[in-house]
Structure 1
């Protein structure tokens, strides 16, 4: 399969504390020669000051001062690198249980997820939690890296045992493609270069997998969804009659002459013109930012959605979501928030917490309805006005929401419409 050298792969790393995520990313950057000379010199100097022989690979990602002092990654750290075959963006998420919420943000746009497992410990709670989130977010590819194989004498039976552990629980999840790689990030085995210590492993090293993964677009190309962000009314004389509706196409294709309907009003019209920047085009598609004009003068404002007449989403004021609670302050049934959905902003409340998920067993907890940080749960949401929603499974852009605390303006939850 031909790989586009300009194609961008976004991947996230996740695992428990000290599983070696930062070291793994450092090894990827170091062995693929993706480190700038000045950055390499700075890390070499810091490594010497810490009394470490050679290079402390973790320092390539743990760039914050307090991270270095504690020796942990406390936020999502984004790193960029390029090989002759592909471009990459890495989201390195923290391993502590209290930072599980960070994986939701780090993985929300990922094409692939690397889940690290310490070969000495096998599958633990955090492994299950991260796999569950990857499943909820429908990340297409999961690469399970069994790290620190050097500490278990590179034994094949340890590797196969952990595969069995992972497959036992992941069979209950919505995961399409899983690959397994035995590695030692510290020693460099099977990260960029094939390991001579594990000749029993016949698969590709990690970097080769990342360079050759097929990236399928997660943009829905069928259902036309155009959330209006703003209405353009230029004041210049030559544009005095121009009334354009601007925003980013969430999914699908729009063409001049298409019959469209505006929700929630239900008024219909025909697309008169489409502009991409200063250029007039006959066709536009997701994720282009455009402005369009209609043949009829319709009252349209921010948050409305322009759709093709024969293809409409649900206009709902009540719907079910799977969510992750991100905030330190607990929430309960009937709590009121601001909901953000595409360009729409409404008042909403958590009408009911249907159940929480026990990450260890994936069983449903219906007795405890108090939401705490990192809780994953199903809820019924009610809004003051209808939202034009699709299920997250069919359309990521129109199937995702966030909740905002009205007083503190903090984002308290992120969710996916069922």
Structure 2
């Protein structure tokens, strides 16, 4: 059944205003998202001294890395250790030094062959770009998730408005007015990148909004049972205790989740009976990127595991969202593809705004001409 002209006009208004209201933030998020696929490469480019360090296979033991950090920063808290990957040949660690504010961390680079501390990282440009894309630096992630939902609205209304999609694939009228040329470019970019735009919008909306819905669901489900929270026992007092080998803990984590390739190791309450070491990373031969094992660092027992392969359908879907959104699972060629296609929604936000502004100016000029014609007729 063909869509009525009245419905098309309403969808056009919705499409226009959704683009105008979100245009600036959409451009920032899409542009930074296209660039951030090269986050690791950007960090190396911004720190050329690190790119020249040797790569070691296998890398130095985690115990050696931790010992080097504790020797270089006595009394500091080692919170996270990032293992070498396909791009970065080095270890990285986030350290909170003694006396530093709770929110201040020092990012430290270490050699992968010896575990020796190189020193604080000079630039974190890649991480800043990721923070801009994911959180707009300091905002909650649901704002970016909302932009993903808005992008889906723009895609849906755009598909209905431009019904002659196949015909418009190769339509570009270069010799016409600015608005016509820009409109053709806007349509072509939207059509050629349609599948990618749907993927990025859907995964972005999921990553930003799914945690919000999950928290809301938990609140609704537990709001009627206040006794449960009242009966919750306080955590036991943490006493000093010897720690298990970090490398042995990693081996136990790989036994708990076969195929785990840890990218990060997070340490909490290290040196006490309540110490934990969490290993987070990808799964060998699997796209899901949210595998994690929490180990009791004092006893060596696995406390909690997250394996998307066995955690149910929705957990598997959630584990696929981030690699599909950032394109970090297929090597350099896929990153370039994500970068090129990722620039198209940034262009769409600019071109759509320019088309809207030019259209308003055109209507304003036509209204002025009509008023001038009416006034001229009255004088005659």
TM-score normalised by the shorter chain: which range applies?
under 0.3
> By percentage of residues, which structure has more strand?
1
Higher gyration radius (CA) = 2
> By percentage of residues, which structure has more helix?
2
Higher relative contact order (CA closer than 8 Å, sequence separation 6+): 2
